[in-house]
Structure 1
């Protein structure tokens, strides 16, 4: 089994990192090691659609669009568009980060530009060819999977509101919620599954893992009422592909090839890594610009992330989507189905864009008031993004074969594009509130909110008059109230809450785009941790997270050392990743209540044994050992660029092997009141002392 091999990697690690990258997490980064070259000199166009088509209905936006004469002009001149993009990719903050890229811009029924920049391979310096160079588009695959589902719905072969059980060919998905699980729930990431990722989803290019086996091996259970909450769901889209395969009576990749790629003339697109595709596939590059080996996705035709395509092919797809499902005389979807896909039907608040069928709204604060739907993708060494402005019949696509600052490049590209072609017409400044409640009235919003996809990500919310103070891994944010359950921070980013059916606050969404967060119930108090205890906030956080379920329910014993097994077990509980089913390799840990967590941590590379091959699960973990484990976990989540060492002024004694880990822990604030800076700003981390249970709680609260 291949384990954690960005969530920029196509594995559980890729999925976790993609989750965090979707939240626009930004870490200081080192200088880019690879040399980036000049943009490709060739710019190619795609044949335009010849027949007249109608634009999408204005019902997609909360209000009707302005009259045509009042609309911003948008892109129209191919030479001007090329000049704009050339300037963007030559920017000093963009070009050094670039390995290779392909970009496509479409307007109405024609492609204004498809062009490559940089290299398909940084070693050979082969330029990116927009017609021939293939890129992995990862989760943009989901848009194509949703389109295949909509085709079957048009044919009357599936009912989007029916329980999916009838399409699973005997596969059982446990569901005790009393509510059906439908295709709509799967397409909008509201399945309510307890697990949305597989244990591994990439392997060697020759490895075979069929779709049917994959969905059966990784089948989850429905534990939350379907439709209740948004949590980005990769398994759901693999299940959708399996349903498409069952209903159509053809392999999923053949359905896509015959019913979408062929009609649209997407001759270079595939869901399967064939030998020919592999030869033309751009080389993936890591955060330092170094080439990475090619790989196969699991399953091999991954409906959630297996799409491989070119810039020119994607231009054809965007034209069809912007013209009611038509490209020239060919129609692959009805206009009604296209509208339904692009309707962001699931949202935590009417004033915050949500998700549709295979589409999302990743950068609403950069849209300048335009209605935009988009889909991004992240895979090992690849990043991609697709934006559509249905009311303006405009599309923008970019794919990158490197992950160095890739999210920044994408967001900057979209921001620059929108500011250039669709500048905002609204006055600058924050929204004027229409309601402002007192601290007492807002008190029901207070509490700890745990991210549904990445449990270690949490928000601590407290009320003030007319607003909130929200603390997360970015720091402290002050939000003012705009409307009932709707707030806005100093940068204009919106946050909202959602009630459950009983009128209680249940969910919160703010600066992490791939899931909502659930409000955790107030914890039961320990006999030995009063409310005014200096570590109370941290201790009750780990209890709310369920990290202490295997321990004494009445006494916490805050000043006792935490053992190596307890520390690793609680950390793995924060990760909420599938635990290893392999026997624990450390004999002395075989009978530990945290044996599975220890083995999983070993497979992830978070821990190692002693020279005698033991783990010593009951030995107190030292502060420097704990710091090293957390620094490895940070590297696992965010890669070498996102988890690079930050400067920290240390004093005291730390072993050489642990120095970088301690530096990371101190620089990122992974400690509680026990670590205090002296007058020079230096901290004695007391590296070789045992880590106390209360101190471990503070580390977990502050991680990542």
Structure 2
């Protein structure tokens, strides 16, 4: 075969590959655009989502881009795909990842060095070894606690610098780095501060100069509400079947979740990833650096299908690898999705949700799943059901895995730990049945495979447990989700039983005291009785105020600060501790002097007060932990 024949053959093969690719990637189908339109218009009418925006990109070309519905119901402003700015929340973290990788490429940082090497504004206090690294922060494995209280403000005048905010509010480290994934906004705020300390620019300035301007993203910004009001989409929540607008807010840990953008400019951003770090004539990242960023950087166990990347997380759809990041804030739900294998990227954002039902996030997830089936019909038709592996033998008795497990992402050092009571991070219960483990009765079955590895039948995935240094099971992992095992006294069932029992004792004591005074003519009351009556009343009052505020206040409001009545009520635990200490002294003195002529129920109330203090301490309600 001569050179001419070889060339003709190669061109023919390339043509066939391109033809097959076009057939597999159904972007030219005449009904695709109308199908996409129908999905968003249906969501507008049936799910109370007034506005949305969408972009589908192939390499450096926009396949389809469109805005739907209203950005502002009150002023009847329509969504424009090229101008209307949506709050895309945690998609901000992908920009943090690009910023860090640019500094890495320039030799200004390494991924596995102690972050204190690069921090000039502050230094981290380590409670565990080894030190926290850039990689730990990027993969949410630094072990830093969660806290959502007071991380936003209402006005620009209340904004403070990133360094000042972190110096004031950064939670402590609660687990060794590299042990488990626990999604954490503070980690990405710290990365933003590292960018500031290395570059000498504020984080938003660095991103504008080094990412946004080269990508012609002139209206995208980490600075919130800096353009004319008509450019910004409002977001809404459904209350009593009526859409109510969220007020403006400003994120203090802003690198983690404050960026605002439109579909057109996000298309430029996605094209950069699909074109090996380049956009038009601008090179933002070297192709090798980009490969490193989009490669798996951490996974919990060997057979985990999905892990965390450097600024993104991993997913799979019928065997197709997806690089993605979602964002949720104040009724907005957004998604950026890259499919490097197919040179395809998708961005969408919607501006309304029911807090209770999460209608916006559910719509986004269902829409993208259907969209992938439309784009890749051949892959969608493939029966991808996996064969269940044979049952094996694990390294511990199945009883060792039983217990209650809780998602790692919740506050443990501040009083927003009480959000567990409203189900913000629901526990799961793992029990043994015959030769396997069951989750929550029968929601999932885990078949033992080997070591600490199991196979989840319903999800068709390998899963794993992890033990601590003492050989006890400490974690349950499912891909990039992590649950830590909860001790019996930390379970919600025990904690609720404990506080209810204490309050019953207090209420009975209050009623008993009233009956003794009113009907039994017991006018003379010992000092211990007076103290315990005060303790019982104050305890009941505190639980009522705190519980009522928790149940009746929009959870979003706690992001801006605690209601005044809640802050004021935090004085009551301190009074209860003082009164309990005095009551104990009075009891011991009376016993020593053999003058313990007070009602026997006083002993029970004092014991109840001690348990109440323990309960308050567990939920970080002693002092002003917010």
TM-score (norm 1): 0.64
| Alignment-derived partner of residue 219 in structure 1 | 170
Cα distance change, pair 220–259 in 1 and its aligned pair in 2 (3 A): same
> 2:306 aligned to 322, 330, 353, which one?
353
Structure 2 distance, partners of 1:277, 1:434, is: 62
Matches within 5 A, 1:143-162: 143-162=94-113
Matched, 1:468 2:437: yes
Give runs of aligned pairs for residues 648-663 of structure 1, distance below 5 A: none
Per-residue deviation at 1:518? 0.9
Choose from 167, 179, 193 the match for 1:242. 193
1:479 maps to which of 431, 445, 453: 445
Shift of 1:464: 2.4
Q: Deviation per CA, 1:463-512: give whole Å up to 9, x if none.
A: 224432112xxx7413142744233243657644234466643211359x
Deviation at 1:224, TM superposition (A): 1.3
Max radius of gyration: which structure? 2
Identify the match of residue 486 of structure 2 among 493, 496, 520: 520
**Paired residue secondary structure (1:177):** coil
Aligned partners of 1:229 and 1:516 also within 8 Å: yes
Superposition deviation, residue 421 in structure 1: 1.8
Partner of residue 427 from structure 2, selected from 450, 458, 469: 458
Root-mean-square deviation (CA, aligned residues, Å) is 3.8
Describe the shift of the 1:451–1:352 C-alpha distance in structure 2 as closer, same or farther (beyond 3 A).
same
**Residue pairs, 1:299-448, within 5 angstroms:** 299=252, 302-349=254-301, 350-361=303-314, 364=316, 367-404=317-354, 405-422=359-376, 423-424=379-380, 426-427=382-383, 429=385, 431-437=387-393, 441-448=397-404
Alpha-carbon spacing, 1:630–1:341, altered in 2? closer, same or farther (3 Å): farther
Quote how far apart the aligned CAs of 1:222 are: 2.2
- Give the direction of change, closer, same or farther, for the CA distance of 1:69–1:115 in structure 2 (3 Å limit): closer
Relative to its length, the structure with more strand (as a share) is 2
Following TM superposition, by how much is the alpha carbon of 1:212 offset from its aligned partner in structure 2, in angstroms?
Answer: 1.6
1:11-36 residue CA offsets vs partner (Å, 9 max, x unmatched) = xxxxxxxxxxxxxxxxxxxxxxxxxx
For residues 247 and 458 of structure 1, the distance between their equivalents in structure 2, rounded to whole angstroms, comes to 41
Normalized per residue, which structure has more helix? 2
- 1:211/1:238 contact within 8 Å kept: yes
Which structure 1 segments of 5+ residues have no match?
1-66, 524-538, 565-587, 593-614, 640-691
Output aligned runs, 1:429-578, within 5 Å. Answer: 429=385, 431-437=387-393, 441-454=397-410, 456=420, 457-471=426-440, 476-481=442-447, 483-484=449-450, 485-490=453-458, 492=460, 495-500=463-468, 504-510=472-478, 515-521=481-487, 523=488, 541-542=491-492, 561=504
CA distance in 1 between counterparts of 2:393 and 2:399 reads 10
CA contact (8 A) 2:331 2:360 kept: no
> Quick one: distance in 2 between partners of 1:144 and 1:271?
10
SS of the aligned residue for 1:113 comes to strand
* Mapped contact 2:394–2:448 kept (Cα < 8 A): no
Counterpart contact for 2:41–2:68, Cα < 8 Å: no
Could you tell me how far 1:304 is from its partner in structure 2? 0.4
Change (3 A) 1:246 1:198: farther
Q: Do 2:92 and 2:258's aligned partners in 1 also have CA atoms closer than 8 Å? A: yes
Q: TM-score, normalised by structure 2?
A: 0.71
Q: List 4+ stretches of structure 1 deviating above 6 A.
A: 67-72
Q: Deviations over 1:598-626 (max 9, x none)?
A: xxxxxxxxxxxxxxxxx93334999xx69
C-alpha distance after superposition, 1:353-375 (max 9, x if no partner):
121111124x64xx122101111
2:94–2:325 Cα contact (<8 Å) kept: yes
Using a 3 Å threshold, how does the CA distance of structure 1 residues 351 and 170 change in structure 2: closer, same or farther? Answer: closer
**Is the alpha carbon distance of 1:542 and 1:290 closer, same or farther for their aligned partners in structure 2, counting shifts above 3 Å?**
closer
Q: Is the 8 A contact 1:466 1:480 kept in 2?
A: no
Q: Matched residues in 1 for 2:251 and 2:541: separation?
A: 40
Counterpart in the other structure of 2:12: none
**Which residue number in structure 1 is paired with residue 570 of structure 2?**
none
Matches within 5 A, 1:603-622: 616-619=537-540
Deviations 1:227-278 (A, max 9, x none): 1111111011111101101101111111100100011111111111244254
| Number of residue-to-residue matches in the alignment | 498
Deviations 1:620-672 (A, max 9, x none): 999xx69x948954874599xxxxxxxxxxxxxxxxxxxxxxxxxxxxxxxxx
Range 451-460 or range 394-403, more displaced:
451-460
Could you give the per-residue CA deviations for residues 303-343 of structure 1, whole angstroms, max 9, x where no partner exists? Answer: 00110100000011111111211112211112222222222
